[in-house]
Each structure stands twice: as C-alpha cells, then as structure tokens.
Structure 1
Amino acid sequence: MVRIKSISKWQGILITIFIGLFIFLTGNEHVEAEQTVNRMKITINLDKNGTAFISENWNVSADEGSEIYKTLKLEGPQQLGNYSVSIDGKPMKRTSNWNPDASKKAKAGRYGQNGNELNWGITKYGTHNYNIKYAISNFVEQTKTKQMINWTFLEHDVEISPHDIAIRIQDQNHKFSKDNGYGIWGFGFDGQTQFNKRGQIDVNNSKALNDDNYVKILMEIPKGTYKTSYHLNKSFDSVVKDAFKGSDFNYQDYKSGKNIKNDLLDRILWVVIGALSLIGILFVIWLVLGIRNYSRYYPRMKKLQKQNEGQYSRQITANNIFELYTILSFIPGNRQKQDNNFLTAALLQLVKQGNIKQETVKEKSHFVLLQQPEKDAPEPLQALYTVLYRVEKDNVVTESALSKYLSHDSNWQELTYEFSDYSYAYCMKYSLVESSDDALKTRNKKDRKAIRWAKWLLNDNHQLTEEGIKIRTQIVQLKNYLEEFSLLNERNIKEVSLWDDYMLAAAALGILDKVEEQLNKVYPEYAQESVYYNTSDHPFNYTANFSSHVAYSSTGGGGSTSSGGGGSSGGSSGGGGFR
C-alpha cells in the first residue's frame, strides 16, 4: 500500500517556498460552506468623546436561511446609534419591528433590530458583501488611572466566526504609538497586533479562526485623552492583571514596560533573519534551478495540455477512473483538489450503480442510501458507502452530517487512502510506477536530476515509469477531448452509457461543468436518458457542490496575540449567527 508520508517542519517550510515560487514562475479555489463568514474587516474611528464609529465588512457565503444577526453587549452608559446595513454596496431598508420568524422574502433587502441583536436579511443566496455600520457612545472607558478600550469583537463558539479577521482602530486627531503612551493586546486567537506608520492600530489573525477562538482587544490610552462619560472604579493595572490570567502575556513584563509578548525571542529572531538573508537568497536561486528540473519531468496540467494541443483520446485507459488516481497525483497543482474531484466521481458512480440516489429539497442536495455496492466493486466505492452508512439518519445523508464526520483528519485520510491504495496497486501491477531508486538506475542524466528533485519535493519514493508517462499523456488527451468535443465532428456519438462514463472522468478531472454545458448542446436528449437525472434536474452541479462543501470542512505594544486570557469585563459586539 502507498501512503503520502508525513513531512517534517523544515520540509513543510521548503515545500511552501516551492509552491509560492512555482506559482510565481509558471503562472488557484475556495470552496464555501453552506453558511460561512469568509472574511470580516472591522474599522473603528474614534471621536473626541470616545464614541466609536464602527464599519464592518463581511464576506458571506450562504445557500440557506433567511437572515444574519450579530449581538451587542453594551456596558454602563454605552448606547447604539447610526445603525445601517448595505449588501454589495446597495443600502438596505430599515424595518422598525424586526420579526426573526418572518420569511426570507419578507426580510430580503431589509435590516432591523431585535432586542440586543442587529439583524439583516440574507436577501440573495451565494457569496455577497455586507457592510454593517453603527456607533457606540462611550466606547472608551476611563479607569482610575488611564483610559482604555476593552472590547470583544468576536465571541467564541458562534456561527459567524470568520476564517479571517482584520481590525483597524484609528483617530485622525491622535497618533497611536507606544512612545505616545498607548498599548495594545489581543486575546483568544493566533495573530498580530501592531502600531502602523500612520499611527493606527492593526489587528490580524495568522491562523484560520475556528469555533474555539474569540477576538478580544485591550487598548491602553493615556488619561484624559477622550471626554468619555464611562468611568470605572478600578485601576487600569487591575484590568490588565485580570486580562493576563490564562494568557501568554506576563504581567511583570507589562509592569516593567514591555508590551510585546516574547520580546527577547522576537529580537533574536530578527538577528537570525538578518544573518541568514544572504544564505536565503542563494538558497532560493538553488531552489529555482531545481524546480525547473522538476517541472520538466512533471509539468503542470496546463503545460501538458499545451504540449498535446490538438491531440485527443476517447479512451479511459483503465478499467475505471479510480485506477488513475495515482497517475493524476503526479501532476503538480493537482493534489490539492484531486480528493474533492474523486469524491464527486465516487458519489456519481454510486448513483450510476443504484447504490444511492440524489434528492434536492429547497435547492439543498442530499443522498439516500439504497443498497450496498457489490463485493467486486472498487474498494474506494465500498469505503465511501461505509462512510455514508455511518452518518445516515433514516437512510438520508446530509452535507452537514458528512462534513462533520470528515472534518476529523483521521476520517478524511482513511477515506482518501482507499483511493490512493487502490490506484497504487493497479499502477504497480501494470508497471506504471516504480521506486525512485529503480528509476535513478535506468534513466538518463537529465531525468535523474528531475527524479531526485521530485523525490525530495514530493516527499514520495515513487516515480512514474515510461509507461506511466504514456498513460498520463492519454489522460491529458482525454481531457482535451472532453473540453473540446463540441467543436469536433463528434455529434453522432450518442451512446448514453459511454457518456455516463465520460462524466465520471470529467468529475475526476474537475471539468464537470464544462462537459455538461457542451453535452447539452450536442446531445440534449442525454438528460432524459441518463441514470444520473432520474431523481435530480441538476445532478452534476449539485453533486460537485456537495463534495466541495464536504471537502472544505474536512483550514501589547504590538506583536503576537494570546490564544487565551482577556478577562471577563468589557463590552462585546461579537455574538451572532444565521437563521
């Protein structure tokens, strides 16, 4: 059996460099979940009274539900004002009495307030940009010693938790900096806080946020800077001490004037970076030369198609498309999306065999289990059916249930290993792959250089044989055919079973939509004759989206933030969800 080996930290860094350089030298897909805040950008403008004028830009993908809402937790004399919402730059209309139980149609194009909630209609499914503006008076608090902002911009375990967040705090009348007496700390996530050159504060995450993260900011402000009416009967130091509990920050460092976590480590890091700069440049040059060798032996799909321009193959050069998984994995840039493509192909194959059927309710697709695959069915199909059986409820498999199961790395890897093991056995049987050591013994000098680089960059001890490269070429020519058959003299090929197989290949190659579009033109009767359309009007689109969503679920004075801490005091605008 074959496994993609685990990589060391340094190999991971070098492979990351390789990917970046490869894209730069030769030249990419984001899949959205059913209700997801992809990005959140928050800008806070402060006025002389300590009022915050807040603008939040949310990039949201949703294909169900009727509204989005966020909650506010105001403290003391804080009050809400100037509330408005727009979608894709178009202002929405305010509803005075917001009804969260109203229909999607009633909420479309409208926003309102329900108690401590700010609500607005999803309006249109798909990916859209929402801009939420509001003001909070007395946002700045005056302690017995200093002023501060103590605010939670995102609560933990909320549906609106974005993948990425960026926060900017600014005041046109004040320049924020450590030298001017300001401090900044972030809690609940991995990221950075910093004073930029324009006297603003920037906060960003460095790792994708998840439900366990929260985003809380504590900002130190010199006493008397703002004319706020919010006064606390405690010192700023006591707030800091409470916030630092359970965090990575050290209260004694703060007391001695340090605002940056791991201050010594950061200084050492900069020295090391400076010392290694020249070595790094030389290394990059060496790496670029190696990548060129590697790219000659293992070109990307676009280059392979260009090399085979005008050449077509009408054959799936295996018993089934799943036997070719390993061949495709040797095409650079293909591995990241390959598992998703083959999951789509496997679901369609189970539909074709009568093991499952697809149903669509309110534009949401799910699968219904019918019967187990035959014992001689390809192992990946049997493994996938077993997974579907584990998550079914009343024989129904929903996208959310399968996503939850496969979001555990071990479950996802176990399934993808079934594809790679099955294909690897086929490739070894027919001598389509061989060990890198064997390849180095028989190839010419140029090929040996490329193989050494491929072995190191891919962290894989197997390479394509000459016969394997021929099969790769046939796959490329098959893709050429599937992408261009409507332009060729192929309008007389109307054998439904053949096109059913071609659609499986199109799924594995990630071109289902292109092939379906052409097929509708040259063979419009296919939709009435194919088994895929028995229970769905759009089987390929819905299956591809289903797979994509599932696969996606299965990524002080500045400095690092802390993953914990923050204390329990302060207001919040970070709760919320979807309805």
Structure 2
Amino acid sequence: MKYFKKAGMILLLAFIFPGTAFANSMESLDFHVQLQGDGSGIVTETRKMNLTKDTEIYIKMENLGGSQISDFKVSDFGKPLIHKENWDIEASRAEKSGKYGIVETDTGYELCWGIGEYGDHEYKVTYTISNMVRQLQDGQGMNWRFFDGAGNINPTSLTMTIEGPEPFLSENTKIWGFGFNGEIYLENGSLVGWSTEPLSDNNYVTILMQFAHQPFHSPLSLDQTMAEQESRAKEGSSYNQEDTSLSFGEKAAGFTVPTVGVLAAIFAMIGLVLRSRAIKRANPLVKGKERRKLNQDQYYREIPYTDGPMTDVAYMLEQIERGRIEDYFNAFLLKWLKEDNIDHITEEKGIIFKKEQSILQLNRHQMEGDDFESRLWNMMQAAAGADNKLEEKEFTKWAKKNFKKIEDLKDDLSNDSKYLMIDEGYLEQKEAAVLRFFTSSVISGTVQGENLLNHMVQFENYLKDFSLLHERGAKEVFLWDELLIWASLYGIAEEVARQFEELYPQFLEESQFTPGDFYMMTLFTNSFAKGYHSGQSSASSGGGGATSLGGGGGSFGGGGGGSR
C-alpha cells in the first residue's frame, strides 16, 4: 500500500509540474579558456545548476585528435572535491558525493563528479587540454567544440572568454562561432561571446580561431591551409550567404555523378527537365524582369495596395526585385516624420573644428508589439540610447554589431507577408509532383494576386514617367506625401520628390517634408545599410559578430554528457 501511495504522489507531482518536477537544470554555463604558448588551453567551466535526480555529472571528451586531458579538478561553491581513482559510474550517490574522477573510454575520456545533495550547486570545473591550437600550412588554428547539447543538461545562458599569451588583434586573428544563436567579438585582446537564447539538444558550441601571425608553438599539425579549414567549418553555416538548398535535379546530380558517371548525369538532366515541366504546369508566379517586361509602358496611377500596412506586400515586392530592407527603413522614416514621431535636427559637433551634424530626434521611446514597424523603431531607439538622439555614425556602428537582428527582421518580413498573401487569397501554394516520388513547392498567383503584382509594377512605371505626374493637381499635394512613402519601397523617393517640386514649386512648402528631410533620409538610410552589410561581411570573414546555428565541421573536442 505504501508503494502505491508513493507512486501516486510521484504521478500527481509529475502531472502538476510536467517536465520540470524532477528535471536537472543549468541556469548558466561560463567558459574561460587561457591558451598557452605551447598551444594547450586551461579550461575553466562555471556551472550554476539545480539538480534533483541521478548520482553524477559527466562531460564527454571523445574527438580529441591527439590532444590529452590533464589537471582535472572540481569544486562546488568553492569547496574542492576529492579525486578518486578508478571512478565507478555504478556507485551510489552517497559513495560519489564530494568526489570526482576520470573514466577512459574507447573514444576518449569522461570527466565525472558526484552530485551529492540535491538542490543548487555552483561547480567550477578545470582541466587542461593539450594541442588545442594546431599548426596549419600557412598559419595556426583552434577549431574546438566546447559543448554539445544532444542529451545534455542545456544552459539557459552561455558566456565565454578566450585569452592568449598575447592579446588577440583583429589584424591577425579571425573568429567564428557555430552551433548556437549568439555573438562573439574581440574585445580588449580577448574573445568574448554569449548566447542570445537558451541552448537545446540541437545546439552545440564550436569556436574557430585562426592566427595568421602564428604566436603558438604547437607540436600538432593539420595538412590544410587556413582557407581550407575555414571553408570546411563554414559548410552548412549561415556565414555562407549563397543559397545552399538544392533542387531535385541538383541533388540527383550531386549524389550520383561521382559514382556512376555519364549515366547519372543523363538521369539528373532528365530529372531537371521533368521538374521544370511539373513546375510550369503548376503556373508559378512570373517574377523579376519577365514580370516587368509584361507590364512595359503600362501605368497604374494609385497606390497599389490599401487594405493594410505596406509591409503586407513585402513578399510581392521581392518578386519584382524591389523592397530591400533599407527601402523599408527609408519609407518608415518618412512615415514617422509625417506622424511627428521623429524630428530632423542639427547640432554643432567637434572640439576644434566645429561642424553641423544631422541628428534624428526620436519623440517617443519603445513601441509595444511584435509587428515589423515596432521592431524597426525599437532597433533605432536602442541605437539612439537614453537621450533619444540618433547620430549617423552611431547608427552605422549599431547596425554592424546587430546585423543578425536586422537579418531576422528581414526574414520575418518576407515570411509573414508570404503567408498573409496566401491567407488573403492573393497567392496559392501548391505541390508539383515529379515522377510520383518527389514534390516541389510552387507559389502561384490567384486572379487577385496577379492583378496586384501587375499594378505594383505599373505603379513604379507611373512614378518614373514624370510626364504623367502633372495629372495630379495642386489639390492633391496631401496625397503626394503618401506617394513618396511608397516610392521609397522602390528606392526612388528622393528622385520623385524633385520631380514633384519641379511640377509644383509650392510642393515642399505645403508638404510635411522639407528638402532637409530628404537629405536626412538618404543619410540615415545609407548608414543603416552600410552597418548592416558591413556586419554581414565582417562576421563571414572572421571579424566577429553573430554566430551561426550550423557549420563547425572539422572541429575537435566534445562537450557532450549530462547526468546519470
């Protein structure tokens, strides 16, 4: 009877606290790595954990590639644990309490220590790894996996610091991070990094550092150049900007050509032809230059979409190669000027040589909501800081450091628009069957969607044909401001404004926009774009910035494990 009562209580608690009542958890994980002149590294892990089950924690070190583990030690809340030879993973929790040891496996080591009392723990785990840095043909590199989330106790937050025998400088040190969402930078001669969201079973933490000036004396070598090491690590990563998704025919060709030669190539070509025919039968959207050619010399004189915010049609604009992320920023600058959310002011800057500088004065703080406009505004407000004054260089610096946030915003804009257009009946998503075994997703336009896409091209034609703009009389000046906001999405707002002024000289007097506003708009849009694209380029080339969820091939180390 007592057994059933106990079992019932366990079941009740599990029902009330599903997935958490008896789960081990890790609040934070901090890595501090001190690289030595001989290429070894002294690693210190600080783990803040709450433990409710099992008898021990262990770390797997399986893919060492010639490295050795030494000087392993553990403390809990500053109290050293005692080393135990011949660690027995089957021992009881009481027998393991206050002790640590190493288990040698067929593939490497397991670093183990007893949990002891259940509850909160702050473990400091230190160990030395030889030959973390390897000699390359034209430099040196450390490509190390520090943590593997698969089956592990994953931290809510991760931080990392890597130091060397001399300061790391951007001129001779490149850095990349793989396997987790986060950021890494070189600051004050060290690599610093952190996660931007909790780690899961799908995450891992791999850091690649390359040293062109070869400051280490590592005895282990790899038969590869720095470029080859970088290329392998970037495979499957977001650092490679090109689209790595393959079509049916490309997959067939890539898999079979090396093995069966000409016959496979013929099969792949047939697959490509059949796939092309299947897609054509599904009536896909006509895009880009072909869509513009279909609408050549045709005009639509009104704003093409008025059923919702301009962000609704972002996906449609993409299909005609318009609506870059900086174009949306440009458009919203004009919108916010019109709504008095921002002002364009100038301030005198400089100690000796004074110079007038354009500044955006933000007239409100954070916007509530997760829509595109709120997120874009909050980015600008974060860059401006507490004084709500945004300078050009300040924005460039912020956009470079936070380019991943801009990239995520851009992707969400496109995806949200696509599915909205499907839900509202402008687009249809179909599956085109190829040989009954494969399918290819196809987006096609409904009658309503085809009309919208054509009107969007024809509206651009109208804006660019300035001879037609005289049709709008002076009484429509208040509409011209809206036309200018939409013209921003096509990247031609400033040009259209000049034509408005030529046609109607009083335009800028009656408009809510001034010539200085358009100068400011161009200035800050360029600073936004410059920082964003510079951040993309810097991260990909090893200058630090956002990490990549994928990639990290060719690494050594391990970091798997958990509790048992």
Query: Is TM (by shorter chain) over 0.5?
Result: no
Higher strand share: 2
Greater C-alpha Rg: 2
- Normalised to the residue count of structure 2, the TM-score between the two structures is 0.44
